[in-house]
Amino acid sequence: MPGMDGLQLVDALRARDVVLPAILITGRASKQLRLFAEMSGISCVLEKLLSDGALVESIRSALGTCD
């Protein structure tokens, strides 16, 4: 995504009233990043190297928030 990161993409979609479940996968999840993600409506923040089980559970949880 040239010129845009994942958080900016979520914010751009939300500004257009597009609400989709989002999971952020990052190399380092600082408290500031987690707070920004929460404020942006991101369902879950996962740090790399994550287990398959953690990813599957996060996807299930995010999909459970859909109406």
Q: What is the predicted pLDDT for the residue at 67?
A: 43
CATH number of 35's domain: 3.40.50.2300
**Global confidence as pTM:** 0.73
Q: Does 1 reside within a domain?
A: no
Which domain, by its residues, includes 59?
A: 6-64
Cα separation of 28 and 3, whole Å?
21
Q: Is 47 inside any structural domain?
A: yes
- Model pLDDT for residues 9-67, shown as the tens digit of each residue: 888 998 999 988 888 888 888 999 999 888 888 888 888 988 888 888 888 888 885 54
Residue 37 to residue 23: CA distance in whole angstroms: 9
CA distance 27 to 54: 15
**42 occurs within a structural domain:** yes
Number of domains comprising the chain: 1
